[in-house]
Structure 1
Amino acid sequence: DLRTVYVIADSKERENMIREQIKAIETEQGVQVQIEEGLLNEVLNLVEYPTAFMGSFDTKYLDVPEEVLVTSMETHQRYFVVRDLDGKLKPNFISVRNGNAEHLENVIRGNEKVLVARLEDGEFFWREDQKLKIEDLVAKLANVTFHEKIGSLSEHMARAGVIAASLAEQAGLTAEERAAVARAAEIYKFDLLTGMVGEFDELQGIMGEKYALLAGEDDAVATAIREHYLPDSADGALPETKVGAILALADKLDTLLSFFSVGLIPSGSNDPYALRRATQGIVRILDAFGWHIPMDELIDSLYALSFDSLSYDNQAEVINFIKARVDKMMGRTPKDIKEAVLAGSNFVVADMLEAADALSEAAKADSYKAAVESLSRAFNLAEKADASVAVDASLFENDQEKALSKVIEELELTGSAGDKLSQLFALSPVIDAFFDNTMVMAEDVAVKNNRLALLSTLVAKAKAVAAFNQLNTK
């Protein structure tokens, strides 16, 4: 049996052993241990026969910010963090050795020694970094490359600052919030040049917030420095403050546009600069904060900006890339509904997601097929319309034309996406009656163009929900 040579083959059994051993230490010592699931998974795959133990370190290290201690323990040493019953960090850690409990004291001493070296580094950088001036660090960012084809971090920050100011205005931030955005944009990458972030790069932004507060910066500015990195994964937490969200958007938008502008566009699964994640972040932040900023107008406005450091390029590719992220956010929505919404004229993320849900719901009803087919017919014919022709009521030849013109004029599409769909689908009988009694492609050119223009006004309104001719009713 493998057990006689201290090998537990079943990973579930090893996991249970670790959990139970940690629970026993918690009970015996009157503490609580944070079991970080990712860390547990890593640890149980590093040992064949787990034995958990508790070690300690000098309380003087508790003066160093908690994030530094936790990073040292969890990320660098793969130790579990120990807290008292009130949740305060204790000068202890739990590790798991490979083997039984023999000579455990030696193992504990060895682990304590290794951790102290790490904590010494943390304490040293914490002390030394506080002697640095934010202004000096910001000035040095001019010598740090953002990307060799794009330029320095200073240039990236300058562009993000201009974008942030524009976004803050569009999102209706107060004068005070706008001032915080402007200040945060001037300095937000400074902590990259601190000793602490040089040693523990996972703490970028987190240390920026702490050092900014120590230097007397405004709370909103300090928080934004930390939040501009969010979300740091596809489903990661979002910024909670408006100032942080605007800075996060600006930073990600310049990253996206500048990489695309120099031709560094992700292809296939290849995305070395995590541009998909950044763009997913942009889309999620806009949706979460309910800022009704149409993406196409936003991108247009950014391409209109001029910078000494870089001219933006490849706008169409950027728009398609953003649409692909919105498509992803629509999840399991049927493909034709996604395409119809993405081909619509409304590029406000929240509205698009709502329209996709409303169409998916509407598709379950028996009336869906007929209503979509009526609108589809109008969409397909409207493509032939001459945009310069305005509808002229004196050219109407039957009551059905007049009736359609009247309902289009009265159509205001308000309320939720579901309400808008109901309002559009209610037009189905009027549209059908128009088609049954009217030859759209009449021989008289003026009459034909007038009928196409009439359908075009309907389509322009309906397209704010979706391009109905992309929907599949087969």
Structure 2
Amino acid sequence: MSTFLLEIGTEELPADFARLALPQLEQLVRRDLTEQRLSHGVVTTTSTPRRIALLVEGLPAAAADLEEERKGPPAGQAFKDGVPTPAAIGFAKRCGIAPEALELRDTPKGPFVFARVLERGRPTAAVLAEHIPQWIGALQGRRFMRWGEGESRFSRPVRWLVALLDATVISVTLQGSDPEVRAGNTSRGHRLLAESVTIPSAGAYAESLAAVGVQVDRAGRAAAIRSAVLEAAAALGARPDLPDDLFDELTDLVEAPLLIEGSVAEQSLGLPPEVLSTVMRAHQRYVPLYRSGAASDPLALDAKDALLPRFLCIGNGLPAASDTVRRGNERVLKARLADAEFFVQADRAVPSIDRRDQLARVTFAEGLGSLLDRVERIEWLTDVLLEQLQLGAATGDHARRAAHLCKHDLVSQMVGEFPELQGIIGGKYLLAEGEPRAVALAVLEHYLPRGAGDDLPSSDAGAVVALAERLELLLSIYAKGERPSGSSDPYALRRAGNGLLQILWERGWSLDLQALLRRATAHWSQLLPHFSVQAPALATELAEFLRQRLVSLLEEQGVDGDLVQAVAGEGVAIERVLSDPADARQRADLLAALRASGELAGVQAVVTRAARLAEKGSLDAARLSPAGVVDAALFEKPSEAAMLQVLEQLQPIAAGEGAARYGELARALAASRDTLAAFFDGDQSVMVMADEPAVRTNRLNLLGVLRNQASVLADFSRIAG
């Protein structure tokens, strides 16, 4: 068995290309080797900033032979007086055999000609030589380029190619490359150590590159970086700010990771901590160091209590040059922080209320006016939300003030240079100007959550403005006529819908979204008459969009799909779902708990049977009480009276209010399941579809009331099992 090595050597690749290309390359290779009948062992992909590499172990010398039987024309068409006809000769030629080798066999449709074909497996080297250019050409990524006068496209110019089957070079030339690239056994080492290195065999790849300063194993390089950062931070008594995206980028920026520790000028600690960390992480790819155990204050105006005056960075140079690299990084960071300090001082010279007026000069989106127009729409929605939520006068005042100022920092110099700080820097500026802390915090938090897994607003005022901001985006972009489709969602409307629901769930707020959408779309039709907004249709479309977001979120959080459909699926009235999204979440969680405890199945069996028969009746689906529709005088069996007694006990629970009734209703249904089951089975069971119309209707009404009472919890017909 042999080992195959493919190394695509390039100029420095973008840091994110390897994460996109490596899974593609592995999938392509596995697919084609399988199609070519080449068995293999472990497939490994790896990368450095200058190379994409693939190793395939356990390859045979040649592909497996393929023996197959092919059916040809009927015998009467293939032979005439024992002599092959043109039909038989053509079939034999296509199969690569002589006409004399054809066989005649009987089939249910009569005798036919058959050919036994043996396709010899091709040599492994030949298969690889054919597919290597195809694999390279099939890799996809962002902003591919051409170079020289060739037609080849890749993320960066391909400069060398290594293709080895054990120690044998596979003969491959990349067509369309300029200059021409031929495969060999020569790779390149670390830029500062070795221009070239010979790879004696595929199995010696990692060892050969390690000798010239390249740690080619991406996973090993990542582990070394993380270990070095954690050890250095621990030695300083600090917590490293190393998010996954920065960690991945550092892994893909270096071939020989070298940890360097640098200093931050003490005067720079007068800046807000987020400014320092953003400059270090986003602009310089440094690792900020937070003081272990320090209290986290989202509105801290300086970094003295939060950050150490130190940073870590991962270099790609030689250890002997560490001091030089460190001094260079410190100078660059000092200049960057000096710029940031200038921006902060310039911004603080302008009152935030004046910046709000400047929003009128910035367009939000075509047809939707300026950012100031958007802020005014957010203010209107904030007022509407406060009417429904009734959170108290102080919270209302803070939320209205925060909504008034929520976007002022979008025209600040700081956000112009560091867009990641929008909201954060706006809240800090307001606090420095003397605004109440609750207002500043709400401005900071109204962007939360920024994405999946992000924090949610911690304050009521911040949550209200965050809801208003997301509702405004959905209403305005939908009114404009744009919709998310497939993977295209340029305004992040799905994220806005998710955030809206997550905030409501986390706060436990009961909000009638359906009524709010009807009121808001009517208002939007007046604000944006040039879009010819049809308010009822827009409200319906947005409601369905939010229902889909609710279903998606519940499934992402681990609730079984059938339970989600039972509380919020298309068969459930949308008014029931959106009149209180928190209510839908509570019911889904309760059903999941009942399933986990094993209590759901028994209740479901009886309720589903009752609901199926109740469809044959005509009882109003809103009726929860048996009074007036069930006549005890028509009962013929004790099981009917027992059923009526259960319904009378369930009625006040089903008609009640508050989330507590759902658990109580589920427990009452579970406790009554034997009584309900006796209605259908056993000595006292009844024939629901009795011949006597009045008796039949009476029994169907009993079942209809039970169905309606159970549907307060869920549509049991949608639950599997």
Give the structure-1-normalised TM-score: 0.87
User: What residue number does 2:565 align with?
Assistant: 339
RMSD: 3.2
After the TM superposition, which of the residue ranges 365-374 and 198-207 deviates more from structure 2? 365-374
User: Are the aligned partners of 2:238 and 2:308 in contact in 1 as well (CA < 8 Å)?
Assistant: no
**Shift of the alpha carbon at 1:219?**
1.1
User: What residue number does 2:431 align with?
Assistant: 213
User: Are the aligned partners of 1:141 and 1:153 in contact in 2 as well (CA < 8 Å)?
Assistant: yes
User: Are the aligned partners of 1:330 and 1:353 in contact in 2 as well (CA < 8 Å)?
Assistant: yes
Distance 1:374 1:85 in 2: 60
- From 354, 365, 370, the equivalent of 2:605 is 370
- From 652, 660, 664, the equivalent of 1:419 is 664
Helix, strand or coil at the partner of 1:127: helix
User: What residue number does 2:543 align with?
Assistant: 319
Equivalent AA in structure 2 for residue 419 of structure 1? E
User: What residue number does 1:32 align with?
Assistant: 238
**Deviation per residue, 1:315-335 (Å, 9 max, x gap):** 222122212222123234333
For the pair 1:78 / 2:285, whether they are aligned, the reply is yes
Helix, strand or coil at the partner of 2:452: coil
Distance 2:442 2:504 in 1: 16
User: Are the aligned partners of 1:191 and 1:204 in contact in 2 as well (CA < 8 Å)?
Assistant: yes
- From 403, 410, 415, the equivalent of 1:192 is 410
**Deviation per residue, 1:48-103 (Å, 9 max, x gap):** 00111122243222212111111000111000113566754233322121022122
Aligned length: 469
Helix, strand or coil at the partner of 1:5: coil
User: Are the aligned partners of 1:26 and 1:32 in contact in 2 as well (CA < 8 Å)?
Assistant: yes
- From 584, 587, 603, the equivalent of 1:355 is 587
User: What residue number does 2:215 align with?
Assistant: 8
- From 482, 486, 497, the equivalent of 1:268 is 486
User: Are the aligned partners of 1:336 and 1:470 in contact in 2 as well (CA < 8 Å)?
Assistant: yes
Give the structure-2-normalised TM-score: 0.59
After the TM superposition, which of the residue ranges 95-104 and 119-128 deviates more from structure 2? 95-104
Shift in alpha-carbon separation, 1:306–1:242, aligned structure 2, 3 A: same
Shift in alpha-carbon separation, 1:151–1:465, aligned structure 2, 3 A: farther
Helix, strand or coil at the partner of 1:436: coil
Shift in alpha-carbon separation, 1:470–1:208, aligned structure 2, 3 A: same
Distance 1:292 1:432 in 2: 39
- From 284, 292, 299, the equivalent of 2:502 is 284
Structure 1: stretches of 5+ with no match in the other structure: none
Distance 1:388 1:333 in 2: 27
**Shift of the alpha carbon at 1:341?**
0.9
Shift in alpha-carbon separation, 1:35–1:317, aligned structure 2, 3 A: same
**Deviation per residue, 1:349-401 (Å, 9 max, x gap):** 3332332233344453452453232342266346x556899974597761377
Relative to its length, the structure with more strand (as a share) is 2
Helix, strand or coil at the partner of 1:198: helix
Equivalent AA in structure 2 for residue 70 of structure 1? S
Larger radius of gyration: 2
Structure 2: stretches of 5+ with no match in the other structure: 1-207, 295-304
Where in structure 2 are the equivalents of 1:17-416 lying within 5 Å?
Answer: 17-22=224-229, 25-26=232-233, 30=236, 32=238, 34-38=240-244, 39-83=246-290, 88=305, 89-305=307-523, 308-310=526-528, 311=533, 312=535, 314-331=538-555, 332-342=558-568, 343-344=571-572, 346-347=576-577, 348-363=580-595, 364-365=598-599, 367-377=602-612, 380-381=615-616, 384-385=618-619, 392=628, 398-399=634-635, 407-410=646-649, 411=651, 412-413=653-654, 415=660
User: What residue number does 1:469 align with?
Assistant: 717
**Shift of the alpha carbon at 1:339?**
1.3
Equivalent AA in structure 2 for residue 7 of structure 1? V
User: Are the aligned partners of 1:126 and 1:196 in contact in 2 as well (CA < 8 Å)?
Assistant: yes
Shift in alpha-carbon separation, 1:66–1:386, aligned structure 2, 3 A: closer
**Shift of the alpha carbon at 1:173?**
0.7
Helix, strand or coil at the partner of 1:52: strand
User: Are the aligned partners of 2:610 and 2:703 in contact in 1 as well (CA < 8 Å)?
Assistant: no
Distance 2:263 2:718 in 1: 65
Equivalent AA in structure 2 for residue 96 of structure 1? I
Shift in alpha-carbon separation, 1:62–1:440, aligned structure 2, 3 A: farther
**Shift of the alpha carbon at 1:248?**
0.4
Relative to its length, the structure with more helix (as a share) is 1
After the TM superposition, which of the residue ranges 148-157 and 85-94 deviates more from structure 2? 85-94
